[in-house]
Structure 1
Amino acid sequence: MAQATNNLCKPGVMESKPVLVVHGGAWAIPDDLAAESVLGVKHAAKLGFAVLAGGGGAVEAVEAAVRVLEDNPAFDAGHGAVLNADGDVELDAIIMDGATLAAGAVSCVRNIANPVTFARALLEKTPHIMLTGLGANQYAESLGIHQVPTEDLVTENAVAEWEQYHKYKQAVANLFNKHMVHDTVGAVAMDHGGNVACATSTGGITNKMVGRVGDSPIIGSGGYADNLSGAVSATGHGESIMKVTLARRILLDMEGGKVPKEAADAGLSYMKNRVHGHGGVIVISKSGDWAARFTTQRMAWAAVKEGLLHYGLNPGEDLLEDINDFN
C-alpha cells in the first residue's frame, strides 16, 4: 500500500526552506465575495504552513490547507459546493505525494465535507489512485469517514446559481464565455525534507450533468507533484484543462528549464490559444520557487515562505505582510 512520505531529511541532505501556496479558484470573483475570498486563502495558507513549520510533511500540509478551504462556504469545495443538474452535490478531489508519485483521488462523491481527506485515505490505504461514485461512498463509510446531509453543504448562493441555469451546455457556455469558472480550491507545498505535494478539491460547475467529472481529480490535469520537478494545482474550465493535461504540461516545461512563472504562463497561454480555455495555477519548483498565475478576471491566492505572507486577487497583484501580523 502507498504511504505518505516521511518528512524527515535524509542524512547528508541540506534542509529545504518550507513553502506553501494555495488558491481559491480562478474565475470572475464578484466584488461582494472578493474580501471573503482573500481572507479565506490567507487563513488556509497560514494554517497549512503551520504544519510545515512544525516539522510536518508536504502531504499533510496541503491536506490541512485544502480542508480549511473546503470548510469555508465562500469556495466551491465541500461546504459551498455548487449543484449538479439534479440539484445534488458531487465532489471531486486529488492529493499527490511528489516523493513517491503516489496519489489518491475521488470523484462524484456525495455527503463528504472534506473529500481531500478521503483522497488521502485512498493514497495511504489502497493500491488504487481513484474511486468514484457509489463505490467511493461505500468505501468512505467502511473507513468511518463522517458523512453529512446534502443540505449542510449547500449555500444560498449555490441554489441561486443553480436556478439561473436550465441546461448543462448553456451553463458551461455562459461560464466559459464570461471567464466565470467557479472556484475550485488547491494547495502545493514543499517541506523541510524537500518533498513536494499537491491537493485540489472542487464541487465542479453549476448544473453539470450528473456524473460529470472535471479536471480536479485527474492526475496530470488538476494536479501533479514530482520531487524531480515540482508541484501544480490547477483551476478553471475543467474540460479545457483536461484536454491539455495542464498540470503535467507545466512541470514538463520546468523540467526543460523554465521557472514556475514562465512555465505557468506558457501552459495557460497554450490552453487559451489551443482550446480557448481560461483558468489559473499555483506552482512550486523543486528548489522552492513558486508562482500564482491566471488568465481569468481574478484568482484568490496566498503563499507563505520565510515568514512572509504573499497574497493577491487581481492580475499583477502581490501584496505582502508578516505572517505573524495576520490572525
Structure 2
Amino acid sequence: MEPKIIVHGGAWTIPDDRKQAHLDGCRNAVEAAYPLLLQGASALDAVQAAINVLERDETFDAGRGAVLNADGQIELDASIMDGKDLNFGAVAGVRRFMTPVDIARKVLETEFCFLIGDGAERFAREQGLAECDPRDLFVERELQLYEKLRSQDGYSTDQAFAPMPQGTVGAVAIDKDGNIAASTSTGGTPYKMPGRVGDSPICGAGVYADNELGGASCTGFGEGVIRTLMCSKACEYLAQQDAKGAATEAIHMLYRRVSGHAGVILLDKNGNYGIYHNTDHMAHAYVLPDGTIHTTVHMDD
C-alpha cells in the first residue's frame, strides 16, 4: 500500500490576510508526517505527528492559539482512532497541555476511551507528558476576540460562525500495511459555555477510522456534527461511493438533517482522498501521487 496523508486546518471564512498562514500550517503538518510514513511508521504515529505540528501553530484553534470560552479560559479537546481494531482515545477540557492529542494517544493505549478535565490532566502527568502554563496557550488575536465578544449584549456561540476562521485541525493517514488512523484536535467555538464539548473528541462525530471502510476527520459547528455522527456516516457511505462522493454526501446529509455547516476530509481503504465543505473555506493539504504536497483553502483550487 502506498502511504497517504491528508490534513485540515479548519472551516468557515478565512480572511485573506490569514489564508497563507493556514496553507503553510497544513503544509508543515504533512511535511512532518509524510516522511514518517515512507520510513514505515504507523498511520497512528503519522496523524499524531501531523496534529502536533498544528497544535503548536498559533494559526489554528487547537493547542496554542485556541479560542477562549466565556470565562476567558482555554479548554482543549482531542481524539485519535485506530482503524485496525477500532481502538479510540480522547480527552476534553484540557487546560495545561499544549498538545492534547498526545494525551489522547496515551488514553488509546489503556482500557478506557475518554478522559476529561482534571482526570485527563492527572493521567497526562502520570504518563510523563510535559505540562505548560495555561498562559502559554493564549495569543493576542484570541484575547482581542474574547474582549469583543464579551462586550456584545446577548452574544451566543452560534453567532461565532460569522466571517471568522474556525481552526479545528485534523488528519487522516493510511500506512504501508493498509492501516488507517484519524485524529482531530480543537479549542472549540469562540466564547463557548465553560465545559462545552464539541464533536472533535467524540467517536463517530468529529473523527472515525475503520480499515474496512476508511477514515475521516471534520471541522465545523460541532453540535450538528454530533447529532448526525457525521464522520461515521461518511465512512459508511464509502461502502457504496467513492471517497469524493462519500465526503459530499456526508456534508449534504448534515445540512439536510440539521442545517449544519462543516468540512470533512476522507481517506478510503485504497488510499483515495475525499474532501468537501459547505463553508466558504476549509484549509487542507495532502500528498499527490508524485509525492508533492497540494494545499488549498478552496474546493476548486
- Normalising by structure 1, we get a TM-score of 0.89
Query: Unaligned regions of 5+ residues in structure 2, if any?
Result: none
| Correspondent of 1:61 among 25, 29, 46 | 46
| 2:286 is aligned with 1:303 | yes
For 2:153 and 2:132, how far apart are their aligned partners in 1? Answer: 26
What is the aligned partner in structure 2 of residue 321 from structure 1? Answer: none
Sequence identity of aligned pairs in percent? 41
* CA–CA separation in structure 2 for the residues paired with 1:89 and 1:271: 28
- Asked if 1:96 corresponds to 2:71, the answer is no
Equivalence for 1:43: 28
CA deviations on 1:19-60 (whole Å, 9 max, x unpaired) are: 000000011111111011101101111111111011100000
Cα offsets for 1:275-301 (capped at 9, x unmatched): 111110110000110122111111110
Q: Give the secondary-structure state (helix, strand or coil) at the position aligned to 1:165.
A: helix
After superposition, residues 1-327 of structure 1 pair within 5 angstroms as 16-124=1-109, 126-166=110-150, 170-176=155-161, 178=162, 180=164, 182-255=166-239, 257-306=240-289, 307-317=291-301
Task: Determine if contact 1:254/1:263 at 8 Å carries over to the other structure.
Answer: yes
Question: Deviation of residue 175 (structure 1)?
Answer: 2.4
* Alignment check: 8 A CA contact 2:44 2:82 kept: yes
Where has structure 1 moved over 4 Å in runs of 4 or more?
Answer: none
Alpha-carbon RMSD across the aligned residues, in angstroms, is: 1.4
Give the Cα separation in 2 of the matches to 1:196 and 1:76: 25
State the TM-score, normalizing by the size of structure 2. Answer: 0.96
Q: Which residue of 2 aligns with 1:6?
A: none
- By how many angstroms is 1:273 displaced? 2.1
SS for the counterpart of 2:155 is helix
CA contact (8 A) 1:107 1:131 kept: yes
CA distance in structure 1 between the partners assigned to 2:154 and 2:134 by the alignment: 24
Contact 2:3-2:175 at 8 Å conserved across structures = yes
1:99 partner letter: K
Residues 44 and 69 in structure 1, CA contact (< 8 A), matched pair in contact too: yes
Counterpart code for 2:65: G
Evaluate the alpha carbon distance shift between residue 83 and residue 42 of structure 1 in structure 2; reply closer, same or farther with a 3 A threshold. same
Give 1:145 shift.
1.2
What amino acid sits opposite 1:285 in the alignment? D
What SS is found at the alignment partner of 2:238?
helix
- Letter of the structure 1 residue corresponding to residue 263 of structure 2: G
Contact 1:168 1:208 in 2 (8 A): no
Residues 205 and 169 of structure 1: CA distance in aligned 2, closer, same or farther (over 3 Å) = farther
Deviations, residues 65-108 of structure 1 (Å, cap 9, x unaligned):
00000010000100111111111110000000000100100000
Amino acid at match of 1:259: D
Letter of the 2:126 partner, please give it. S
Q: Secondary structure at the match of 1:198?
A: strand
CA distance in 2, matches of 1:78, 1:190: 24
